[in-house]
Amino acid sequence: MKSWYNKVYGKENGGKTNGQKCRLHHILERGGGGCKSASRAEYSSLITPKVKSAFTLAEVLITLAIIGIVAAMTIPALVTSYQKKITAVRVKKAYAELVQVIKLSEVDNGNMAAWDFGTYNDVNETRKFLEKYILPYYKNITECSTGKDYSCGYPVSAAGVNYQLDNGLGLSFLKDFSKKTIYINISLSTNKGENTLLGRDAFYFEVADGKVFPAGWYNGITREAILNDSFVPPWDTGEITYIFACKKLPKDEEDLEENIIYEYRHGCTALLFLDNWEFKDDYPW
């Protein structure tokens, strides 16, 4: 018998197999035995691999182009969303730390209303005040500049003193003796210089009567008012004094004066505070 035949187990019913696997051997069994001889064509079909079709170069290039377009549309949004979440967490943590500092200071120095705020607002008096009431309750805080210097983040005032924590946060303080209030800018980034933006890189708080709130905060303020240019009255006269808003700067923001930028972004910390430390979709990032 020819050695290129295989034994294929199956029923002798028109050559159809019974589902059992056949061993591919080189001899043909004579007679019954439940095995049927295979022809050359059948044998060839068993051992010849099927040719699989592949993508053409054009199809691959088109697929890559589509992936690139989708990535260009979605990745920036994902990065911004991630930045917002990280920023919100850091601001909330810095706020909580400031609240704790004030509480610890009141334990040692009495109620804030009784603290000695001095009789003048300047760099030296602010530094002296901070050295007694604030700095001892921060860990690893270092003075890095004074006044309107952006090397430590967003400065709060020409009469302020600027510090940096070992975790990279920038803190700019000003005490107001007439209102017995402390104003603080907390900068999450200290390397952006004058490009530091309120409500994205820095956040503005004030402390009065031992309580920490976003700067400019007043009872009854709403997020709708902040997004639509709320006017904030001072505590004594009730007259309108300045715009309290949070909105994007005009396209020519590099040419805007500081007071205009301040009015556009002054209310952003309050908006974040109202939204429970979450940047909503309509937040002017």
18 domain residue, yes or no: yes
The Cα–Cα gap between 224 and 77 comes to: 25
106 and 198 in a single domain? The answer is yes
Cβ pair 31, 56 in contact under 8 A: no
129 and 255 in a single domain? The answer is yes
Write out pLDDT tens, residues 21-36: 444 444 444 444 555 5
The first and second tokens of residue 70, run together, are 């989708």
pTM for the model: 0.72
The first and second tokens of residue 284, run together, are 């002017």
154 and 29 in a single domain? The answer is no
- Enclosing domain of residue 251: 81-274
The domain total for the chain is 2
135 and 231 in a single domain? The answer is yes
Cβ pair 204, 215 in contact under 8 A: yes
Q: What is the pLDDT along the chain (285 residues), one digit of tens a residue?
A: 444 444 444 444 444 444 444 444 444 444 445 555 555 555 555 555 565 667 888 888 898 889 888 888 888 888 889 999 999 999 999 999 999 999 999 999 999 999 999 999 999 999 999 999 999 999 999 999 999 999 989 999 999 999 999 999 999 999 999 999 999 999 998 888 888 899 999 999 999 999 999 988 888 888 998 998 766 555 455 555 567 889 888 776 555 666 667 778 989 999 999 999 999 999 999
Write out pLDDT tens, residues 145-171: 999 999 989 999 999 999 999 999 999
47 and 97 in a single domain? The answer is no
